[in-house]
Amino acid sequence: MSYEEFLGTLSDTVPPEFSNEILRALWYEARGDWEQAHEIAQEKEGTKAYDRLHAYLHRVEGDEWNAGYWYRRSGAPMPGVPFKEEWAELVKTHL
């Protein structure tokens, strides 16, 4: 699936079958279901990719302290880019 195809799925009412659960979480977050995305992030805490997702979600939530904690756990710095840019980069990384 390409990034453009992924974007096209955002108008669907249910997520497509993704081989990567992080993509499913990012799909939910883009559709406004932060809670569902957060549940997915919590499923594999301690896994760097999931911790990175967790960090992004708390950044979006506005909880900078919690986001910083999860960025540190993931080994990634807190990005200085808008949320949409970070979201796009995460999607492209996991496609």
pLDDT of residue 76: 97
pLDDT of residue 19: 84
What spatial distance separates the first Cα and last Cα of the chain, rounded to whole Å? 7
Which CATH code for domain 20-94? 1.25.40
Q: How far is CA 25 from CA 45, 89, 92, in A?
A: 14, 14, 14
Half-sphere exposure for 9 (CA within 13 Å, toward CB) = 19
Confidence of residue 16 (pLDDT cuts 50, 70, 90): very high
Q: pLDDT tens digits, residue range 54-93?
A: 999 999 999 999 999 999 999 999 999 999 999 999 999 9
Instruction: Work out the average pLDDT over 29-40.
Output: 97
pLDDT of residue 18: 86
